Amino acid sequence: MKSVPEYFGSQVFDDRVMRSRLSADVYASLRKTIDEGHQLDLSVANSVAEAMKTWAVEKGATHFTHWFQPLTGITAEKHDSFISLSPDGSVIMEFSGKELIKGEPDASSFPSGGLRATFEARGYTAWDPTSYAFIKGKTLCIPTAFCSYGGHALDKKTPLLRSMEALNTQALRILRLFGNTTAKRVVSSVGPEQEYFLITREMYEKRPDLKYTGRTLFGAKPPKGQELDDHYFGAIKPGVAAFMEDLNDELWKLGIMAKTEHNEVAPAQHELAPIYTTTNIATDHNQLTMEIMQKVAARHGLVCLLHEKPFAGVNGSGKHNNWSIATDSGQNLLSPGETPYENAQFLLFLCAVIKAVDDYQDLLRLSVATAGNDHRLGANEAPPAVISMFLGDELEAVMEAIEKDIPYAGSEKTKMKLGVDVLPQFNRDNTDRNRTSPFAFTGNKFEFRMLGSSNSIACANIMLNSAVAESLRIYADRLEGAEDFETTLHEMIRKTIRDHRRIIFNGNGYDESWIKEATEKRGLLNYRTTADCMPHLLDEKNVAMLTGLKVFTEAELYSRRDIMLENYCKSVMIEAGPMVEMARRMIAPAILHYAADVARAAAAKKTISEALPCSCEVRLVEKLSELADQIAERTDELASRLEEVQGIDDIVKQSAAVRDRLLPQMSELRDPCDQAEQLTERSYWPMPTYGEILFSVK
């Protein structure tokens, strides 16, 4: 059996393979394209394509696909074989540079938000050489961008790459001002921690709501849940351990740096964390990770649930986005240095993030907005919907000293020239982790904790990269024209701290008093649902920033607003349909059946002896009958509201109706159903309970 170092990345056309299979000139040209963004010559593409095809065929591949990320939130692929007919009637295996660089999948059924007419099917995929090709099954997968015939981005990768370039451009301007002439690129890096649930397929198949929507629409609280915190970091069950071992093997073959695995808070909940890498590759890897999790689970008789809130009242699943920025030489720009100038540079980049998060709270919030995540945000295991930043006591004290122009408590000096002379040397874990903060500084990176477990990380990082790039652009404009660099720098840092202090909060984000303080005293935004926040994508300041940095065109922004709201509406309406069906065809009949049997038992009991009391049976039948009446009435009302909401044409108005009319009625229907579950004898209940599902994996 091969060791991990022997098979790690074995299914990836990575740098090791390219170096060994390409000529020195072709390899050098490709590296310039990857590292510096140089345009790829077709002759080089032909050489790469031939080497890539030969390598893939040697590994058993018969097909290739342009693997892309449309606005569905998942990946897409159309497979073409390598075979080509030769003159003598035999077949040969061919793959050209043109096929590598560009594909033409049918784009008609992918969301476009009005960027093209439905009958206009043509779309293009373009090779992204910064993300390595890989083999999945017998198919060579080539990561690509996806655009319309008119050139509009129809995917998540294209604006992500644009945002990374915007950040690179503005960050390099700042570094040049600090005398750094050697850095060629600045890249953002991400390590997304992925939470998920594992349940048995047997339980899953008996729950129509899980099959249709990914979450349970009904379910009473189990007798035991996560109250004792005994599952968190507990011993991993053999069935789960076997799944994790198999999953690691599959991920490692694809060069995905799966590092940490453990039980999470809720029964049946777990987490996988990778080593961080560049944001583009991390996004590709996370999409692959979610896909492979589900495939591996199926091999083990399990189902991997990636919904943000599959069980009401139970810990939901997030995806913590650990984000940082560094130069191509490996200098982390969110780590303090050893000299005053290095510390000043750190503080300026830190202030750029602070300013970005405050100025664009709305963009960060809407970047994680989905129907599923709306159920999770604000619950006790997730940050609130209000954006705030955690810096820790030490950095907070430094910030206060700079803002007020007073000595820092740890300094022997009376003044802080540039506010950085006495900045302490930070260790990686210089602050405690604030689990309640949406955006926490954790030593040399920020942990954005609001992402839902099923989210593509592209959206959040597009907005984060872009907002920080905009802050850096403003800083660079001021500093490049400054007569006195140090004085201007010092005043700019002070002004940022003073103007944006409201976004910094080191306390308990779960406390209700914080929400009141945040909104009423600090003026922070509190967009609780997707319908609340998504329309703000088109606010003037957001359009100006995102188009100014060339991350989106205005048409692309309008399309994404509509697509995200449409996804929200469809997701909730898809839940309402099965809810009506399950209430009418499963839950109500089970209650009535059980109530009838109890009534018959009471009648038989009274027949045997007039002296025997039947009060408990009568009360139970009365309660069950009352609940059955409520269920029937509320089911009819939900069906009526669903039909009403489906008839609304305007997507903004429809999303508001989903929020205000549909979701409240779904809660109204669920309540009597969950009460009835607790009163109905188990053999009559038509589906597995929470307790049975959550403790099903051995």
Residue 416 in this model has a pLDDT that exceeds 60: no
The Cα–Cα gap between 450 and 377 comes to 7
pLDDT per residue as tens digits for the range 564-576: 999 999 999 999 9
**Among 125-134, 418-427, 453-462, whose mean pLDDT is lowest?**
418-427
576 touches 642 (CB < 8 A)? yes
Q: Of residues 123 and 334, which shows the higher confidence score?
A: 334
Reported as a pLDDT band with limits 50, 70 and 90, residue 409 is low
Query: What percentage of the chain reaches a pLDDT higher than 90?
Result: 70
613 Cβ neighbours under 8 A, 6+ residues apart = none
The Cα–Cα gap between 200 and 239 comes to 10
Residue 248: name the closest of 46, 529, 8 by CA.
8
- If you average pLDDT over each of 112-116, 145-149, 222-226, 327-331, which comes out highest? 327-331
Q: Of residues 236 and 112, which shows the higher confidence score?
A: 236
SS3 369: coil
Residue 328, pLDDT score:
93
Q: What is the mean pLDDT of the chain?
A: 89
Q: What pTM did the predictor assign? A: 0.92
Residue 108, pLDDT score:
62
**Among 71-75, 96-100, 320-324, whose mean pLDDT is lowest?**
96-100
Rounded mean pLDDT, 350-358: 97
Residue 431 in this model has a pLDDT that exceeds 50: no
Residue 390 in this model has a pLDDT that exceeds 50: yes
Residue 35 in this model has a pLDDT that exceeds 70: yes
Helical residues (DSSP H) of 196-317, grouped into ranges: 201-205, 208-213, 238-253, 279-299
371 touches 487 (CB < 8 A)? no
The Cα–Cα gap between 84 and 62 comes to 12
430 touches 394 (CB < 8 A)? yes
How many Cβ atoms sit within 10 Å of the Cβ of residue 165? Answer: 17
Q: Residue 689 corresponds to which tokens in the numbers above? A: 């309970």
Residue 612 CA, distance from chain mean position: 61
Residue 14: name the closest of 288, 327, 328, 253 by CA.
253
Residue 139: name the closest of 53, 255, 21, 49 by CA.
53
SS3 552: coil
The Cα–Cα gap between 237 and 261 comes to 13
Rounded mean pLDDT, 371-399: 84
Rounded mean pLDDT, 481-497: 91
Return the H-helix or E-strand segment holding 209: helix 208-213
| Residue whose entry in the numeric block shows the structure tokens 């990345």 | 9
**Among 38-52, 424-438, 529-543, whose mean pLDDT is lowest?**
424-438
Q: Which domains does the chain have, with CATH numbers?
A: 4-155 (3.10.20.70), 188-455+493-527 (3.30.590.10), 567-694 (1.20.120.1560)
Residue 434 in this model has a pLDDT that exceeds 80: no
Residue 443, pLDDT score:
81
**Among 81-95, 503-517, 600-614, whose mean pLDDT is lowest?**
81-95
Helical residues (DSSP H) of 450-553, grouped into ranges: 457-480, 485-500, 512-516, 530-533, 540-548
3-state helix, strand, coil in the chain (%, to 5): 50, 15, 35
Q: Is the CA virtual torsion 516, 517, 519, 524 positive or negative? A: negative
Reported as a pLDDT band with limits 50, 70 and 90, residue 611 is low
Rounded mean pLDDT, 223-247: 88
Rounded mean pLDDT, 610-637: 88
Q: Residue 316 corresponds to which tokens in the numbers above? A: 């939901």
DSSP class of 80: E
Reported as a pLDDT band with limits 50, 70 and 90, residue 427 is very low
Residue 380 in this model has a pLDDT that exceeds 60: no
Residue 97, pLDDT score:
74
580 touches 635 (CB < 8 A)? yes
Residue 152 in this model has a pLDDT that exceeds 90: no
How many Cβ atoms sit within 10 Å of the Cβ of residue 154? Answer: 26
Rounded mean pLDDT, 68-89: 79
Residue 673: name the closest of 200, 206, 209 by CA.
209
**Among 165-179, 503-517, 612-626, whose mean pLDDT is lowest?**
612-626
Rounded mean pLDDT, 132-154: 90
Dihedral angle over CA of 62, 64, 67, 72, nearest 10: -70
Burial of 615 (0-12, 13-18, 19+ CB in 10 A): exposed
